[in-house]
Structure 1
Amino acid sequence: IQPSSRQRKKPLCQRLLRGQFRWRLMNTKLVERVCAPLTILYEPLSVLLALVLVVASRWALFRSIDWHFYGQVMAQFNPGDYLLSLGLLIAVVLVHEFGHAAAQLRFGLPPGPIGFQLYLYIPAFFANVDASWKLKPSRRIVIDLAGIYFQTVAASVLYLMALETNFTPLLTTALASDSLCLIAINPFLRFDGYWLLADALAVPNLRTLSQRLLAHYWKRLLGREAPGNILPIGRARAATVTAYAILRNGFWLFVVFAIVRNLSRLYAGASATLWKFLSQGLDGVRSLDGALVASSLIRMVLFVLLLLTMSALLANTAVKVWQLARAGVEKARCRPQQSCQSRRTRMGGN
Structure 2
Amino acid sequence: MPRLTTGLLLHGEYQGGGFTRPRYLARRGDGQVVQLTLLLHLVAESIDGVRDTGDIAHRVSDRYGREVSADNVDHLIERKLRPMGITAPPDGDGHPVDAPRSDLLLALAGRRVLLRERQVARVARSLAWLHHPWVVAVVLTAAVALDVWLFALHGAMGPVLQVLDRPVLLLAVFGLTVVSLLFHEFGHASACHYGGARPGPIGCGLYVLWPSLYTDVTDVYRIGRAGRLRTDLGGVYFNVVFILGLAGGYALTGRPLFLAAVLVAHVEIVEQLMPVVRLDGYFILGDLAGVPDLFGKIRPTLLSMLPGRPVRPEVADLKRSARAVVTGWVLTMVPLLAAELGYVLWHLPRILSTAVRSLSAQAGDTLTAFSDGEFAAGAVGVIGAFTLLCPLVGGAYLAARTVARLLRRILARPAPRRRAHAASHRPKPTAPHAPAEQRPDPVRTLRRSS
TM, length-normalised to structure 1: 0.80
> Which range is displaced more, 49-58 or 227-236?
227-236
| Aligned residue in 2 for 1:62 | 151
| Aligned residue in 1 for 2:359 | 274
Aligned counterparts of 1:276 and 1:152: Cα–Cα separation in 2: 37
Asked if the contact 1:58/1:156 (under 8 Å) is kept, the reply is no
Distance 1:243 1:28, change over 3 A: same
Aligned counterparts of 2:250 and 2:340: Cα–Cα separation in 1: 34
Distance 1:240 1:316, change over 3 A: farther
Q: Map 1:116-127 onto structure 2 (within 5 A).
A: 116-127=204-215
SS in 2 for 1:117: strand
Aligned counterparts of 1:17 and 1:131: Cα–Cα separation in 2: 22
Q: Are residues 1:41 and 2:130 paired?
A: yes
Match of 1:238 among 295, 319, 323: 323
How far did 1:164 drift?
6.2
| Aligned residue in 1 for 2:113 | 24
Q: Are residues 1:198 and 2:223 paired?
A: no
Match of 1:146 among 231, 234, 254: 234
Q: Are residues 1:6 and 2:94 paired?
A: no
| Aligned residue in 2 for 1:293 | 378
| Aligned residue in 2 for 1:89 | 177
Distance 1:149 1:34, change over 3 A: same
Aligned counterparts of 1:114 and 1:17: Cα–Cα separation in 2: 19
Asked if the contact 1:256/1:314 (under 8 Å) is kept, the reply is no
Which amino acid is 1:214 matched to? L
> Which range is displaced more, 228-237 or 208-217?
228-237
Aligned counterparts of 2:286 and 2:108: Cα–Cα separation in 1: 23
Aligned counterparts of 2:301 and 2:226: Cα–Cα separation in 1: 24
| Aligned residue in 2 for 1:347 | none
What do the CA deviations read for 1:147-202 (whole angstroms, capped 9, x no partner)? 10011221233145346645232222221111111111111111111111111111
Distance 1:316 1:24, change over 3 A: closer
What do the CA deviations read for 1:219-244 (whole angstroms, capped 9, x no partner)? xx2x2455577432222321221121
SS in 1 for 2:112: strand
How far did 1:291 drift?
2.1
| Aligned residue in 2 for 1:135 | 223
TM, length-normalised to structure 2: 0.63
> Which range is displaced more, 113-122 or 276-285?
276-285
SS in 2 for 1:205: coil
How far did 1:30 drift?
1.2
Q: Are residues 1:100 and 2:188 paired?
A: yes
| Aligned residue in 1 for 2:368 | 283
How far did 1:109 drift?
2.6
| Aligned residue in 1 for 2:38 | none
Aligned counterparts of 1:225 and 1:231: Cα–Cα separation in 2: 10
Which amino acid is 1:48 matched to? A
Asked if the contact 2:198/2:219 (under 8 Å) is kept, the reply is yes
Distance 1:16 1:280, change over 3 A: farther
Asked if the contact 1:116/1:125 (under 8 Å) is kept, the reply is yes
Aligned counterparts of 2:191 and 2:313: Cα–Cα separation in 1: 40
| Aligned residue in 2 for 1:50 | 139
| Aligned residue in 2 for 1:303 | 388
| Aligned residue in 1 for 2:21 | none
What do the CA deviations read for 1:77-127 (whole angstroms, capped 9, x no partner)? x32122111110011111111111111221233221111121013122111
Aligned residues: 323
Aligned counterparts of 1:39 and 1:183: Cα–Cα separation in 2: 24
SS in 1 for 2:149: helix
Aligned counterparts of 2:389 and 2:238: Cα–Cα separation in 1: 30
| Aligned residue in 1 for 2:83 | none
Which amino acid is 1:168 matched to? P
How large is the RMSD of aligned CA atoms in angstroms?
3.5
Which amino acid is 1:174 matched to? V
Aligned counterparts of 1:19 and 1:112: Cα–Cα separation in 2: 16
How far did 1:323 drift?
10
Aligned counterparts of 2:174 and 2:396: Cα–Cα separation in 1: 25
> Which range is displaced more, 79-88 or 156-165?
156-165
Aligned counterparts of 1:128 and 1:227: Cα–Cα separation in 2: 31
Aligned counterparts of 1:130 and 1:114: Cα–Cα separation in 2: 12
Which amino acid is 1:64 matched to? L
Aligned counterparts of 1:298 and 1:56: Cα–Cα separation in 2: 33
Task: Specify every segment of 5 or more residues in structure 2 that has no aligned partner in the other structure, as ranges.
Answer: 1-26, 33-95, 97-102, 425-450
Task: Specify every segment of 5 or more residues in structure 1 that has no aligned partner in the other structure, as ranges.
Answer: 9-13, 342-350
Asked if the contact 1:17/1:315 (under 8 Å) is kept, the reply is no
Aligned counterparts of 1:16 and 1:232: Cα–Cα separation in 2: 25
> Which range is displaced more, 176-185 or 313-322?
313-322
SS in 2 for 1:23: strand
| Aligned residue in 1 for 2:198 | 110
Which amino acid is 1:62 matched to? F
What do the CA deviations read for 1:38-81 (whole angstroms, capped 9, x no partner)? 111111210110111111111110023345645643542x3212
How far did 1:320 drift?
8.5
Aligned counterparts of 1:18 and 1:97: Cα–Cα separation in 2: 18
- Aligned-residue identity in percent: 25
SS in 2 for 1:126: strand
Distance 1:258 1:174, change over 3 A: farther
SS in 2 for 1:91: helix
